[in-house]
Amino acid sequence: MSVSGSNISISNNKVCVDGKLVIDEVATEPVKLIVEGDLFKVKSEGPVEVTGDVKGDISAAGSVHCNDVSGNLTAMGSVHCGNVGGNATAMGSMRRS
């Protein structure tokens, strides 16, 4: 699936982009979010991979891999990112790209 937008949220197996429901009932297991390019905000109930920068916050119930994050980063898994402008919290390991 391919979508465009700057704010992505995955909650209760529903995908919302810029506040609009895109997909209802994605899967029965956690979804891995892969984003190509920059975006503003990410909230996911699974792992997240962003090939660009995040201009705001990231909150993920899994691991996070990305370039730079301007805001806060919270992950229930490991974090492998560039610079984080805000606070960074991870339940797993943290590495800088």
Ordered per-residue pLDDT tens for the chain, 97 residues: 677 788 888 887 778 889 998 877 655 666 678 888 898 999 988 899 999 999 999 999 999 999 999 999 999 999 999 999 999 999 999 999 8
pTM score, two decimals? 0.79
**Bridging pattern class, strands 20-23 and 14-17:** antiparallel
DSSP assignment of 26-76 equals --SSPPPEEE-S-BSEEEESS-EEESS-BSS-EEESS-EE-S-BSS-EEES
Residue 88 in tokens: 């960074």
**How much is the pLDDT for 35?**
84
Rounded CA gap, 20 and 79, in Å? 28
